[in-house]
Amino acid sequence: MNFQKTIFYNFSIISFSLLLSGIVYAQSPGQIYSPASPTPNPMDPNGDGWISASGSIFTGGHELPEFEIPFLVVPQLSVEVDGDLQTGSSCAASEIVSDDLTGSAGGYYYISDPDGTPDNGDEVMIFRLRIARQANGAFGYSFLFDTDFAFGAADSNSIAGNPGFEIEVIYGSGNNNDVLVENVDGTTSGTNIGTYSTATNSQRSDALNNYSGCNTDPIFIDWFVPLSDIGITTTQNFRLSVATASSPSSALGGSASDILGVNGDLISSDDDQFAASIYASSDIDGDGIVDSVDLDDDNDGILDSVESGGTDPSADSDSDGVPDYLDPDYSGYTDTNNDGVNDNFDTDLDGIADHLDTDADGDGCNDVLEAGFTESSSIAGELEGTGYDASGLVTGGSDGYTGTNSEVTDPGVSSACSASDTDGDGIDDASDSAPNDPCDPVQPAGYTGYDATNPIWAAADCDGDGVINGD
């Protein structure tokens, strides 16, 4: 999930002392002050007691480039607002904080594969959460997974208190608490998949205090679990939401204190906040650009706005955290099959909006071909290319992004995928400059790609020697 933009400001970081709950300790951004045992471990691979690659305090204004581990950022719908908690005290241990001026994020994740051989069972997923202050007491910190890309009304297992998560990974602070992996599909009280000691599977470190609405010294909490517990592969896409709770347990069932990247003062319901955060983190095509800013969410060479009749389906017209193609409040909303997707954005009513669907009309012929473009030889339904730009467009190809046509949304027409070769010259009609002339284009001597049984080819004299091809 595969979805990462940063602004850099440089300034000096100095160490200082903090008086917290009667304990004085030196704040050294990047230093692990509560390590796991033993070391090294997945969270501190070189065992030097620092989360920085340099083995010393962060020297810039943004931690991510200096991390020892190449974490990915959990995308946020909006800036992280301080003091928007549902439960607990503002700027305390359940408050997620981030620095929106420099890009220091609130949540990170990374899949570590020690031997470099994918999906052989040794992989772990590491989580990093930035909270307002040292967590003295019992709190819960959760990363919640949507692995089936169905959420809210689109997820048949959605219930009040859990609008569509399948897995929850919880770090419980305080005495005698653990790192838990829970199967929460269709429930708010999960079934345990794995339990791990916080002494071996978690650590804490000092974070930068470069800017925050909270007058506190933020920390990072890291924890890890086997990737196999989560039930995903190293290449599988998923969507993430991050939340805290005022007790060392699940954030589901109305128990969330703070949800990353969602303004709890504007969206009061936990379920609505979770939905907003999930839509912000989706990257359906896995190109590294989250759908909310990706101009071509399915990489088919057709802009999302073009596939959606001139409107941006990922826009949020009423600022309620729900993209327009899923929002019942959107003008003209219709959902005849109750799949949670506005029918006006879903031609074949399969529950996948056209801008996310590589075959919008469901006729078995991918949109990229029906639009007249070149399909990737390695990724079905994707425009041929060599990479992606910052807007999520496929780059390096020979075509694409010149519009669409009626064949893309007409299930009765799929001529782009019919292997028709009228003149028998071995070139499909869709690509043939002269589909009725077997001698055009001219082929080199010795060409054998023709269809000797085709009567048009057999009756022609392509080499001009006075003898027809068929003789």
Average pLDDT over residues 214-240: 94
User: What is residue 419's predicted lDDT score, i.e. its pLDDT?
Assistant: 66
User: What is residue 434's predicted lDDT score, i.e. its pLDDT?
Assistant: 85
**Dihedral of the CA atoms 61, 66, 70, 75 (nearest 10)?**
-10
134 has a pLDDT exceeding 50:
yes
Identify whether the C-beta of residue 130 lies closer than 8 Å to the C-beta of residue 218: yes
Average pLDDT over residues 165-187: 95
233 has a pLDDT exceeding 60:
yes
Average pLDDT over residues 426-454: 83
Identify whether the C-beta of residue 142 lies closer than 8 Å to the C-beta of residue 251: yes
Ranked by mean pLDDT, the top range of 134-148, 206-220, 416-430 is 134-148
**Dihedral of the CA atoms 218, 283, 395, 70 (nearest 10)?**
30
User: What is residue 449's predicted lDDT score, i.e. its pLDDT?
Assistant: 81
- 32 phi/psi in degrees, rounded to 5: -80, 115
Is 387 or 13 the better-scoring residue by pLDDT?
Answer: 387
| DSSP secondary structure code for residue 180 in this structure | E
Number of C-beta neighbours around residue 34 at 10 A: 15
Spatial separation of the C-alpha atoms in residues 9 and 101, rounded to whole Å: 9
Alpha-carbon dihedral sign for residues 262, 267, 273, 277: negative
- Average of per-residue pLDDT values in the chain: 88
User: What is residue 82's predicted lDDT score, i.e. its pLDDT?
Assistant: 87
User: What is residue 318's predicted lDDT score, i.e. its pLDDT?
Assistant: 85
Confidence of residue 22 (pLDDT cuts 50, 70, 90): very low
Three-class SS state of 153? helix
Spatial separation of the C-alpha atoms in residues 67 and 82, rounded to whole Å: 24
Q: What is the per-residue pLDDT across 39-85, written as a single tens digit (0 to 9) for each?
A: 999 999 999 999 999 999 998 878 899 999 999 999 887 778 888 89
First to last CA, the chain: 59
User: What is residue 17's predicted lDDT score, i.e. its pLDDT?
Assistant: 33
Long-range contacts of 293-296 (CB under 8 A, 24+ apart): 293/391, 293/392, 294/391, 294/392, 295/391, 295/392, 295/393, 296/355, 296/391, 296/392, 296/393, 296/394, 296/401
User: What is residue 77's predicted lDDT score, i.e. its pLDDT?
Assistant: 78
**Amino acid sitting at position 21:** S
Domain ranges of the chain: 16-281, 287-416, 419-471
Do the bridges between strand 32-34 and strand 72-73 make them parallel or antiparallel, or are there none, so unpaired? unpaired
Three-class SS state of 368? helix
13 has a pLDDT exceeding 90:
no
172-194 b/e (C-beta count within 10 Å ≥ 16 → b): bbeeebbbbbbbbbebbebeebb
Which range, of 19-33, 289-303, 419-433, averages the lowest pLDDT? 19-33
Average pLDDT over residues 334-343: 87
Query: What does the angle CA 6 – CA 114 – CA 127 come to, to the nearest 5 degrees?
Result: 45
Of the candidates 361, 370, 346, which has an alpha carbon nearest to the alpha carbon of residue 411? 361
Identify whether the C-beta of residue 214 lies closer than 8 Å to the C-beta of residue 204: no
